[in-house]
Amino acid sequence: MVDDRPSSFTRYAVRALPGGLVLLRFEGLRHDLPEGYLRRTAHLPAFWVREGVPLDVEVRRYERWAGRLPARPARFCNPSEPRQGVAQRFAALAGLPHLTERQVAWVRDKTAMKDRFRQLGLRTARYARVRSARDVERFAGRYGWPAVLKPVDSFACVDTHRLTGPAAPAGLDFGARRWMVEEHLGGTEWEVCGLIHAGEVLDAWPSAMPCRPLDIVDGAMNANISVGSGEGPPVDLRALLQRVVTGMGIDHGYAHMEFFVVGGEVYAGEIGVRLAGCEIPANHGHAYGFDVFGATLDVYLGRRPVLDYRERRCAGDLLLPLPGSGTVRRITPREELLRIPGVIDAVLKAGVGEPVAARRASHNASGYVHVAGTSIGEVERRMRKVLDVFTIEVAPA
């Protein structure tokens, strides 16, 4: 399993597979793995891919290393979006189940992705590859402002901008990365997740977003709400995911897709074949009352999970604000958050006196709470109550 940052899923896997988990790590990303987490996972075999060394050389070194393990890994899981390309290439060279180079392009390069959506008969926002501010202006001259400018391989809204006019964001370098522009869609933005086994989408779970991701990075409430109570969009979500999964030849895994409903029509946004970000998978577990991480491990281990739902409600994750980088001076205690009606769990990523680093990304947070309720509206109201209570003060470094 690729392990480039601690997550709820990787922590679950560490507990669930104490004798059957091998971690694949990258030396260039060691700073994203806290020392405490490294100590807690020190009992597991971990192969570190060296920075600047050809991948085929590292795979040969891995094969010698894996030959000394009690059992050589036979399955592969990459829960990381930014590591998708290198991780799948590593798995291919090591003879493990993997996405092909073309499949990686479909789920990572947003222009190739939208090209494929259209080939499969799905509507998308109009889009174009761009190499200059003039290209963006020409696109907007044809389709209108606002327009959305993003790197083709971005994630979590990193370096993604909603433009209302021809002025480019400060410091943007069109030559440093590959960029695209697309029209800004109205309507309602939704998310859907699903598990895939033997090419079949076993089920699809919708999520509502009180605020759009591009509003979130500018300070709006950062939340996702799994809709287990029947309030979801009027769309056959399982069929929608199945069309994409079949069209992309995906055999197994976890899929996360964003889409828009505009005037009753569905527009495909983006898809990732890896676990959803933030705490969205955990939301589904709380909303449907089942072991979502265990079911996810099953599909990556080649097993068909039993989706035994014992609950039907709405449950969401609210990411707690992180106003800047520095040292935490004051933060609302977890115990106080748990006393708020509807809050079923709370996690703080840092305590008083500890360093924090903020960035413009949809996963920027000082922690999160899980909130449950009978409807999307009730969960959102309870989340806003949490924000009324929560405070954090950060002393700049």
Beta-bridge partners for 46? 23
Which among 279, 245, 280 has a CA at the least distance from the CA of 99? 245
The tens-digit pLDDT sequence of the chain (397 residues) is: 999 999 999 999 999 998 899 999 999 999 999 999 999 999 999 999 999 999 999 999 999 999 999 999 999 999 999 999 999 999 999 999 999 999 999 999 999 999 999 999 999 999 999 999 999 999 999 999 999 999 999 887 888 999 999 877 777 889 889 999 999 999 999 999 999 999 999 999 999 999 998 888 888 999 999 999 988 999 999 999 999 999 999 999 999 999 999 999 999 999 999 999 889 999 999 999 999 999 999 999 999 999 999 999 999 999 999 999 999 999 999 999 999 999 999 999 989 999 999 887 778 899 999 999 999 999 999 999 999 999 999 999 7
CA distance 276 to 156: 10
Torsion of CA 333, 334, 335, 341, to 10 degrees: 120
CA distance 253 to 79: 10
What is the greatest pairwise CA distance in the chain?
62
393 close to 329: Cβ distance less than 8 angstroms: yes
| Residue 242, token pair as written in the block | 């199945």
Q: How many CB atoms lie within 10 A of CB 352?
A: 12
Cβ neighbours for 56, distance < 8 A, ≥ 6 positions apart? 93
CA distance 182 to 148: 5
| Residue 193, token pair as written in the block | 């997740």
272-285 residues labelled b (16+ CB within 10 A) or e (exposed)? bbbbbbbbbbbbbb
130 close to 174: Cβ distance less than 8 angstroms: yes
What is the bridge-based pairing of β-strands 123-124 and 265-272?
parallel
Beta-bridge partners for 179? 130, 151
Q: How does DSSP assign 141-168, residue by residue?
A: HHH-S-EEEEETT--TTTT-EEESSSPP
Amino acid at 268: A
192 close to 205: Cβ distance less than 8 angstroms: yes
Which among 90, 64, 71, 100 has a CA at the least distance from the CA of 1? 90
Q: How does DSSP assign 85-142, residue by residue?
A: HHHHHHHHHTT-----HHHHHHHH-HHHHHHHHHHTT-EE--EEEESSHHHHHHHHHH
Beta-bridge partners for 330? 393
pTM: 0.94
Q: How does DSSP assign 239-254, residue by residue?
A: HHHHHHHHHHT--SEE
CA distance 14 to 8: 10
CA distance 161 to 153: 14
What is the bridge-based pairing of β-strands 23-26 and 46-49?
parallel
Cβ neighbours for 14, distance < 8 A, ≥ 6 positions apart? 21, 40, 41, 44
Side by side, the strands of the sheet bearing 123-124 are 123-124, 265-272, 253-262, 188-197, 200-208, 223-227, 314-320, 367-373, 343-348
Token pair 């920075």 is found at 51
